[in-house]
Each structure stands twice: as C-alpha cells, then as structure tokens.
Amino acid sequence: MSRHVDYLYFFLTANLIFFTGLVAVLVVFFAIRYRRAKNPKSEPIHGSMILEITWTIIPLGISLIMFFFGAIVYFHFNRPPANAMEIYGTGKQWMWKFQHIEGAREINQLHVPVDRDVRVVLTSQDVIHDFAVPAFRLKGDVVPGRYVSVWFRATKTGNYRLFCDQYCGTLHSGMVGEVIVMDPAEYQDWVSSRGEGSLGQQGEKIFQQLGCNTCHRNDSLARGPNLAGLSGNPVKLKDGSLIIADEGYIRESIVNPAAKIVAGFDNIMPTFQGQINEDDMIALVYYIKSLHNQQPGGPVKTSPNSTEVPGANPPVKLQ
C-alpha cells in the first residue's frame, strides 16, 4: 500500500514542478519578447477556440487522473483484506496500548509478523489521537467512543517509529512508540510467552460478570437478541431500518442500548456507560463479535485450555 501512496505523491509533485516551471519560463519569455516599446500600439485580440479547448481539456484530464488515483488509494486503505489478523489498540494521554487476540498486551510497542496483513482496530480513552507510522505511509484519526481501523502489510523486518500525529495535550510529543516487525516463527514465540488467556476468553468472563448471558440467550427465556452470528450481518431495528453489526454498533449497544433498538424487543437493557474501561470493552466487543454458537441458557463456553478463539472466521489457532 505504501508504494501506491508514493506513486500518487510523486505524480502530484511532478505535475507541480512541471507547470510551475512552464509558467515561470513563459512569463520570462513573454516579458522579453513583448517588452514595452517606445510607441506602443494596441491591437485587437481574437480568441482561439483550439487554444481554449486545449488548456481546458489537458488540466481537466490531469485533475481526473489525480482524483481517480487518489480514490483508488483511499478505497484500498479503507478496505482491509478479509483474512487480516486483528489487533486492538487504545490511545490515551499519553501512550498506545495494544491487545492481541491471543491475549498478549503491550504498551507503546506493537509486535506483528512480516508479510502478513494486519488490521488494527483503534479507539481513544480520552481525546482525539492519531495513529501514524510514516514508514508504512499509515495515518488514521482515533476518536473517543468510536472504533476506527487501519491496516498494513509490513514486508521487511525491523523497528518502525509510531507517532501520535494529532495534538492531544501537554505531553503529545512524548506519545511515541514503535512497530516491531518479526519473522512469523519469532512472533509466535513472542505471543506464546505473553499469553494471559485469549481476548475471547477475557471477554466471555466479562460477559458473564455483567450478567449479559441472562438475557442474550437462544431459548424462550431470552429478553434480548441472540448474539450468535451477529457480527458483520444486517440487523433490523424497531423503526424498520437496517444496520450492519460492526464493532461500533456493538459498542454503542453496550453503552447506549436505547440508541438502536432491535425489532421485536423492548428497551429494557440498562446502560453500561462508565462501568467498563476501554480495555475490558475491547475484550467484550471481541467476544460478542466472535460468537458463532450458543447453548440453551447462555453462550457457548470457552475451555481455558482451548487452542481456538471462538467465532474467528477462519478460526484463529493459538500456538
């Protein structure tokens, strides 16, 4: 992806240099050729249709090339591959916190495998931040109360600087870190050595602690929607509209359940605003997103010794 950004930048720069030089040369040329004469005589000016069409069509064509080239880069940047591995991150004054779905957590460092598509799902705990890795030509605003995602594919091992590119307070300049790109085998060893239970297992524990399984079930006692297979699918709301159940929708339904009420259910769910920190919210959202099966009375259990994250499509093996 970075080379596409570079190609667009070089194309824009080349056009800028060419037309700036062309205008400068023409200004000097006409200034010399048509310098003030001793007895100037005005002459009628007649328009040239060919000239008018030429200097309209050529700039229009160049502008359209810039637009379509930029649109391709934009859509490519905002559509991560379906099989990209996911990592969740939180920006806060003044650090970056990351959670891997295998359970590893880290601060101001992001370990990833080389030659693997990586989707980073980000939110902010306080103010607007900006996740930026210049070496990857990567940049994305991180907004409180919302989930945004960026993705990249590192093709070379090494350490790459991570910055916050949005002024976020007095220690903004110190909100830096690094992305550490490792060989796949080394990455698996690193993840295995820092396991604290998978993100799905952490989320399941929070799900049960909050009593979510007493309402969100698949039997006749259910008072809330069945969450199995929810993520990524359309949800019909009480007002008749449809919405795709992504991370943002799931989070909003937890902190503000009255905002979008599912068709066939009443507004009886209490809000959990302020009761869950962002780290636990990420785990809970991931667990709900990953559900793929339920048993009567509540969600399917995840064995502490399980080597598979529930609901991952395809399943994610924990080494």
pLDDT, position 294: 44
Exposed (0-12), middle (13-18) or buried (19+): which is 136, by Cβ within 10 Å? buried
Convert the pLDDT of each residue in 252-285 to its tens digit: 888 888 888 888 888 888 888 888 888 889 989 8
pLDDT, position 258: 86
Report pTM.
0.75
Convert the pLDDT of each residue in 83-112 to its tens digit: 899 999 999 999 999 999 888 899 999 999
Superfamily of domain 85-192: Cupredoxins -  blue copper proteins (2.60.40.420)
What is the domain partition of the chain in residue ranges? 50-79, 85-192, 199-306
pLDDT, position 1: 64
pLDDT, position 40: 64
Which residues of the chain carry a pLDDT beneath 50?
A: 293-319
d(CA 164, CA 224): 39
Domain covering 199-306: architecture:
Orthogonal Bundle (1.10)
| Phi, psi (rounded to 5 degrees) for 237 | -95, 170
pLDDT, position 303: 38
